[in-house]
Structure 1
Amino acid sequence: MLEEPFDISNAVDVWLVGQKVSPTQRKERYVRESFSHPAKMLPELAARLIRTYTKEGELVLDPMSGIGTSGVEAIWQNRNYVGIEVETQYAKLQEESLRLAESQGAEGSWNVYNRDAREGFSAETVDLICFSPPYHDAIHNQGDEIARIKRKIDSGKATPAMLSRFKNWKPESEYAGAGTRSFGYSSNGENIGHQNGDQYWRSMDHIYGKAYDALKPGGYLAVATKEQRDRKTGNLTNLYGDTVAHCQAIGFGLHQHIAAVLCKIHGDGEVIPRTSHWQRMAVKKANESERVVLLNQFEDVAVFRKPLT
């Protein structure tokens, strides 16, 4: 479904989606408050997935839609959009960004539902389901790391960098929308980001099964994954491989593996990393312990297709 006229340079499976930083990609197109979400899909990645796998007037669904990146990019390309988001504050921010896009001239229709994606969606009505799932125990992992820093500050063992970054720590700011507080970015027990192991995969299998039912025959499911490290063993998880196995077991065919490059690459090949404070801190800590760890600068996007019959 690549846009006409066909351009072979667009038909590649390596996408440079991080040439501009995320705030620049979002500037004046999303409400400022939505920038606080800690796990946003890059607008360029969402836009390209929608442009590649749908046509104007078709329906895009994001079942774990956060602050609505897929939705804003969909309606700007004259696609119709449905977003499902369990966190009330993010569902509201999503609606605000969608209304902003409408006021700027975006023409696609949209609906946002503040509920759990495990409740399902309408059968065989959707052309593309596009989303980035939460990682195993993502909320607790984030909160655990921040809580560790807080303990160091309280015990007098914090580094100058820690003291500088967290000098204005306030207990009442727990659960802040920015996702930088000791309990992570959600206190909602229904959020799958709280789950790990078999419980996590049971929930995701349920959502992937509902996604299969919702897609038209021949429709696409695009899942953006990013590998994480097990904080106890230091080993990489295999979220991409596990996602492929679970979706194939449901009945999807693996249609495409896309490498979405998050860093900036200059014409001379120089790489400018796009990293968070937490990524840099984790890599620094690992290498100081003589365990060589590299900064992750890409996401694995698995594109599945529902059989035609």
Structure 2
Amino acid sequence: MTDDRRAPSSPGPADEPTQPISRALIDALDHQTGAQPDSRDLSVWTTAQVSPATQRKGKYTPESTAHPAKMLPDIARHAIEHYTRPGELVLDPMCGIGTTLVEAVHLGRRAVGVEYEPHWVAVSRSNLELAREQGIDHDAHVIQGDARQLVTLLPQEYVGQAALVVTSPPYGPSTHGRVAVAPSEGIQKYWHRYGSALDRGNLANIGHHRLLAGFTRILAGLRTFLRPGGHVVITIRPWREHSELIDLPAQILACGRAAGLTPTERNVALLARAAETDLVARGSFFQRDFIRKQREAGLPLHLIAHEDVVVFRTAMVHTFAQASRVRSPASRSALPMQHTDLKGEQATGESRAA
């Protein structure tokens, strides 16, 4: 899966590449909220029916392929179509090559992203410029900086404006990367790490527990820019570390709660094509090589076929204390953020596209 989002250092549990799966099973999962088969309220997102390269064709510059862990465009596109309407603002605090932003502007939304590494800032801006050259007259911007400093990074014009955040945390320094074969040198990996391993400002290089603390801080900062009832969509998956399964989705749920967000959904975004009776995995060279070696060692791992999609929502009403945070940088860092729900108010999906 060279083209999917931030791959873990080793695969977590998933389905066999061609293990039979009943269409009825997928439909049953889709219907858990009472949705009809053709409805968009689905818990299983069929986001890999065409290859990642096909999804990106014509919308991304050649330089984009080098990023070590790109979000699958159809995942971002599904979330944007499902939770926003045209003209609304979409935000990605860790935007990489700008996948969330590119898909947003092609759907008629406004977009803003933050990216830590200057190289990928340039690439994401190039992708937005490509959209403009193709006739997409968009309102989209990329800001370079540390997403843990969102409240001081983003202009005040975005306060309380975002209808949706789509993002994914890095899973550590080991990612898919690219492959080259050189005579007498064998197979070589490149573009398989986030920046310099010595850069402790990069969340991918600071260890698992500090990553969670940093991501919680990012989620808390997002509340300043989300409108009441806005959604946060996070793509994540478990991974194995020294043969121990790390349940990152459950940990991200805890991070969201700690940041003052309310979990509302936990979905599945397929990274494999859903055929009539099978899931056909799109495994990268590194995944297939890793799986082969693990099976030879007696550990029955399988190619990854999906990512978890955790969805949070902000409260329906912001308190005065929330608004007062934006008066100045000093007040933004000093005042606590508070949200208050309307009594008896429930998440009803008002912001979802019709």
Which residue of 2 is the match for residue 27 of structure 1? 57
What whole-Å deviation, never above 9, does each CA across 1:179-227 have from its counterpart, x for those lacking one?
A: 2xxxx23114311011223321221111011012221110111000022
- Measured in 2, the distance between the counterparts of 1:84 and 1:272 equals 34
Gaps of 5+ in 1: 1-5, 147-160
Distance 1:66 1:291, change over 3 A: same
- Measured in 1, the distance between the counterparts of 2:122 and 2:135 equals 20
SS at match of 2:295: helix
Q: Which has the higher helix share?
A: 1
Which residue of 1 is the match for residue 218 of structure 2? 207
What whole-Å deviation, never above 9, does each CA across 1:92-148 have from its counterpart, x for those lacking one?
A: 00000111011112233111101111111443221111111111xx21x459x99xx
SS at match of 2:39: helix
Which residue of 2 is the match for residue 235 of structure 1? 244
RMSD over aligned CA atoms reads 2.4
Cα distance, 1:247 vs structure 2: 0.5
Equivalent residues of 2:125, 2:142 under 8 A apart: yes
Gaps of 5+ in 2: 1-35, 318-354
State whether structure 2 residue 227 is matched by structure 1 residue 216. Answer: yes
Aligned residue pair count: 273
- Measured in 1, the distance between the counterparts of 2:312 and 2:167 equals 12
- Measured in 2, the distance between the counterparts of 1:17 and 1:7 equals 16
State whether structure 2 residue 207 is matched by structure 1 residue 196. Answer: yes
- Measured in 2, the distance between the counterparts of 1:206 and 1:165 equals 47
Alignment of 1:55-74 (within 5 A): 55-74=85-104
Equivalent residues of 1:72, 1:101 under 8 A apart: yes
SS at match of 1:9: coil
- Measured in 1, the distance between the counterparts of 2:264 and 2:234 equals 12
Q: Which has the higher strand share?
A: 2
Which residue of 2 is the match for residue 277 of structure 1? 285
SS at match of 1:216: strand
Which residue of 2 is the match for residue 225 of structure 1? 236
Which residue of 2 is the match for residue 155 of structure 1? none
Q: Quick one: which amino acid aligns to residue 114 of structure 2?
A: I
- Measured in 1, the distance between the counterparts of 2:185 and 2:211 equals 32
Distance 1:13 1:164, change over 3 A: farther
Q: Quick one: which amino acid aligns to residue 247 of structure 2?
A: N
SS at match of 2:308: strand
Equivalent residues of 2:231, 2:312 under 8 A apart: yes
Which residue of 1 is the match for residue 266 of structure 2? 257
Which residue of 1 is the match for residue 162 of structure 2? 126
Q: TM-score w.r.t. structure 2 length? A: 0.72
State whether structure 2 residue 93 is matched by structure 1 residue 93. Answer: no
Q: Quick one: which amino acid aligns to residue 300 of structure 1?
A: D
- Measured in 2, the distance between the counterparts of 1:210 and 1:224 equals 18
Distance 1:223 1:164, change over 3 A: farther
SS at match of 2:246: coil
Which residue of 1 is the match for residue 186 of structure 2? 167
Which residue of 1 is the match for residue 337 of structure 2? none
Equivalent residues of 1:248, 1:254 under 8 A apart: yes
Cα distance, 1:285 vs structure 2: 1.6
Greater relative contact order structure (CA < 8 Å, 6+ sep): 2
State whether structure 2 residue 76 is matched by structure 1 residue 46. Answer: yes
Distance 1:212 1:165, change over 3 A: farther
Cα distance, 1:7 vs structure 2: 8.0
- Measured in 2, the distance between the counterparts of 1:108 and 1:254 equals 31
Equivalent residues of 1:219, 1:306 under 8 A apart: yes
- Measured in 2, the distance between the counterparts of 1:165 and 1:85 equals 38
- Measured in 1, the distance between the counterparts of 2:184 and 2:86 equals 45
What whole-Å deviation, never above 9, does each CA across 1:58-104 have from its counterpart, x for those lacking one?
A: 11110000000000000011110001001111110000011101111
- Measured in 1, the distance between the counterparts of 2:140 and 2:175 equals 32
